[in-house]
Amino acid sequence: MSEVTPLHPGTARFEGGLTEVGPGVHAWLQPNGLLGESNAGLVIGNGASLLVDTLWDPRLTRRMLAAMAPLVKTAPIETLVNTHSDGDHWWGNQEVRGSEIITTESARAVMEDQSPAEIKRFGALAGALRLAGSMPFPYPRRGDVAVIAAYAGEALEPFDFDEVRLVPPTRTFSGELELDVGGREVRLIDVGPAHTPGDLIAWVPDARIAIAADILFVGVTPIMWAGPLERWVAALERLLGLGAERFVPGHGPVCGLDEVRRLIDYWRWLDQAAGKRLDAGMSPPETAREVILGDEIAERGFADWLAPERALVSVGTIDAHRRGVAKPPGPRELIAAFFRMALLARDRARRAP
């Protein structure tokens, strides 16, 4: 068994660490694919290789690079690709020295607005809430505060942002970009906005492997920060049409075509389940609550995906696009969403058989 165990509490649902997915294409897998438990990909050519994504902090990234070291000894990482702007896919960039760093134009624009200071403030807030939740005097909804504090505190605990020095990409593109990695073709395809404002997938035709990053979540509920939903479905259809046999998701185990189709099913179901409630005048948080705590999620077979409460964010995004006001959530909205997700996770656990 691999030493790469889950970062959050729980037992591993799949094998972690470095695994060869196909000839000269490797995946770094982090069970169980929850917050910050992100994967990366490595394509090895003749005398040069390409790394797809770093991890959320330098320490985790160093552990991954140490595992990759024997593979890249004679084929150094000349190119680093960042698939999108979420920190768990690029905040470890500083550990990959001397590589050209590529992303999409739209992802790069979002990266410029980010800082690790923001996430540290969030961590400090979680600490304060944990303290408040444990205080002996009564105040309204103290139980809720304790639940939120535990959820937020646990979510960020495995990561160390103190050392993070942001190293943004040096080269951008839109549309498609074909790269030569030591004689192998790797095609970067801009498929955003979907999960975030800028998302790309990396396609390795000679191995029939697509590194899908956060366009694909397996065994864990996806979260749609940006949307629109139709663009995410189109990106998944693009994945299906590549001629790929295996896919490396951003979160979860390596998979085949069926898991890509399942995610399309999920989005179509959520779109319809949320749409009819929003049409009837229900608010997005109420809508999400009904969808997440209702029976249909299990009937459709999505209840065993981890973190079903993430649908709260996706429903908010669906609603914003319907009203034509879609924009990525700011820090205040993120914190509010986090709090609501904490309570939904508790209420779902309570009603579980």
Residues that bind Zn ion (CB under 5 A): 38, 86, 88, 214, 250
> Closest distance between Zn ion and the C-beta of residue 189, in Å?
18
Across-strand partners of 18? 28
Q: Is 34 helix (H, G, I), strand (E, B) or coil?
A: coil
**Nearer CB in complex with Zn ion: 82/287:** 82
**Nearer CB in complex with Zn ion: 40/320:** 40
**Nearer CB in complex with Zn ion: 95/214:** 214
> Closest distance between Zn ion and the C-beta of residue 33, in Å?
9
**Nearer CB in complex with Zn ion: 35/44:** 35
Supply 290's token pair: 């009904």
Supply 237's token pair: 């259809």
CA-atom Rg of the chain in angstroms: 20
The number of angstroms, rounded, from the C-alpha of 94 to the middle of its chain's C-alpha atoms is 20
> Closest distance between Zn ion and the C-beta of residue 82, in Å?
11
List CB contacts of 177: < 8 A, sequence separation 6 or more: 102, 187, 188
> Closest distance between Zn ion and the C-beta of residue 38, in Å?
4
> Closest distance between Zn ion and the C-beta of residue 121, in Å?
21
List CB contacts of 253: < 8 A, sequence separation 6 or more: 13, 14, 15, 29, 33, 218, 219
> Closest distance between Zn ion and the C-beta of residue 251, in Å?
6
**Nearer CB in complex with Zn ion: 24/31:** 31
Alpha carbons 81 and 59: distance in angstroms, whole number: 19
Helices (H), the chain: 58-72, 105-111, 116-134, 142-156, 229-241, 257-279, 284-293, 296-299, 311-322, 331-351
**Nearer CB in complex with Zn ion: 24/41:** 41
DSSP state of 97: T
**Nearer CB in complex with Zn ion: 93/287:** 93
Concatenated DSSP letters of 303-328: TTSB-GGGHHHHHHHHHHHHTT----
**Nearer CB in complex with Zn ion: 89/246:** 89
- The CA distances from residue 315 to 70, 160, 283, 323, in Å, are 44, 30, 10, 12
> Closest distance between Zn ion and the C-beta of residue 166, in Å?
17
> Closest distance between Zn ion and the C-beta of residue 233, in Å?
19
- The CA distances from residue 11 to 5, 163, 259, in Å, are 8, 28, 22
**Nearer CB in complex with Zn ion: 227/250:** 250
Residue 127: phi and psi, rounded to 5, are -65, -45
Burial class (CB in 10 A: 0-12, 13-18, 19+), 133: middle
> Closest distance between Zn ion and the C-beta of residue 87, in Å?
9
Q: Is 351 helix (H, G, I), strand (E, B) or coil?
A: helix
Alpha carbons 63 and 228: distance in angstroms, whole number: 35
